[in-house]
A and B are shown apart, each in its own frame.
Chain A
Amino acid sequence: MINRWVPQNPVPLPGTDAIAKRLNTGDCNAYIASLLAKASELYGGAGNVAVAKDGLDLLSKIGSQGFVLKDSLQINGWPVGGTVTGSIAGNNTFAAGSATVLISTRFMYGSRAATIAMWQANYVNTAIHEMLHLAGRYSGYDDTQLATAASKLPGAGAGLPAPPKNQDMNGIFNNSGYYDRELMKHCGPK
């Protein structure tokens, strides 16, 4: 039975209160504070210091307009779950206050409430992951930098991938995956 022609329904993005609620759960906000401090220590040498002290501070600086769903979100032809654009404090490309987290719209067949809830929790995972990329004052923190910073925190898992060469997407994704696994140990759905 092939259901490919059934209408595909986009799952709506929850409000930023859902992100704040997750940040306030367990040690999530404290973990992000440690991660930002470590990233700032490692990669803040040229002024690229962290512009927020923790996740809630970062969320307030991005603001409720800074989270956007985008259909068929791609980077260089690669479909991705999320990415960022703009800048919190401004740089030579973007104005201050333009920081935006882009999240790939999830579609579903039907309207099962449990599936909507699952995808909305997934949106929050993506939002928190992506927010931290915007925390570096000028050039943000990329996946490799956040993976490296996460690997240096207490309790970090083994298997930090090698840094990607040039724009090798496989290497970028593997670093992103490591960073995400560490982040979700503290900030995943409970």
Chain B
Amino acid sequence: MKMNLIQIALVGACTVLVSLAGFPRTHQGSLTSVADQWFDSYGNLSWDDEKAHLDNFAIALQHDPNLIGYIIVYAGKRACVGEAKDRALRAKKYVVETRGIQESRLKWIDGGHHEDLTVILQPVPPGAPELTASPTIKPSDVQIIKNCKPKTSKRKKGGC
């Protein structure tokens, strides 16, 4: 019992010290962490609108030749087989063939599934760690849509 009281007293003293030490930083400081967001992300857009996003992505890559462009695609909870891969490859093809970005500067990731289809475009500086996906839907919870047509850059509307 005596030992417990000493331990409690020590914990209490440490808590006070940590609070006092941490207080000025938290109380007066600027943002505790970097606050920002992906360079660009979007959902199931028409191909014309998607091209506008890809154009902007390509412009960023043109402005800084050291950046590597990541295309991360999450298929939706209802999805076609291979939809994320098809979307990613279509985007990459457009950026390479229409906007002239070297293929070696682009990477794509099939991110798995989110509630809704999501495309993320992120230029990454040299030497930075590889980006990784963060799926939120288990494969077992995905509903596969049958009779999907493959995505090509000639299709005007989104969807399968």
Q: Which residues of A line the B interface, CB within 8 A?
A: 1-4, 8, 46-48, 72, 75-84, 87, 91-94, 104, 106-109, 112, 114-115, 118-119, 126, 129-130, 133, 138-145, 157-159, 161, 164, 167-170, 172-174, 176-178, 180-181
Contact A142 B28 (CB under 8 A): no
Q: Which residues of B line the A interface, CB within 8 A?
A: 22-24, 26-41, 48-49, 52, 55-56, 58-60, 62-64, 67, 97-100, 114-115, 118, 120, 122-125, 128-129, 131-132, 134-137
Given known contacts A3-B99, A4-B62, A167 and B33 CB-to-CB distance under 8 angstroms:
yes
Given known contacts A78-B124, A91-B29, A159-B137, A72 and B52 CB-to-CB distance under 8 angstroms:
no
Given known contacts A107-B55, A108-B52, A172-B34, A93 and B136 CB-to-CB distance under 8 angstroms:
no
Contacts of B115 in A (CB 8 A): 157, 181
Contacts of B33 in A (CB 8 A): 142-144, 164, 167, 172
How distant is the Cα of A164 from the Cα of B35 in the complex, in angstroms? 12
Q: What's the nearest-Cβ distance from chain B to residue A78, in Å?
A: 6
Contact A115 B49 (CB under 8 A): yes
Contact A79 B55 (CB under 8 A): no
How distant is the Cα of A126 from the Cα of B38 in the complex, in angstroms? 10
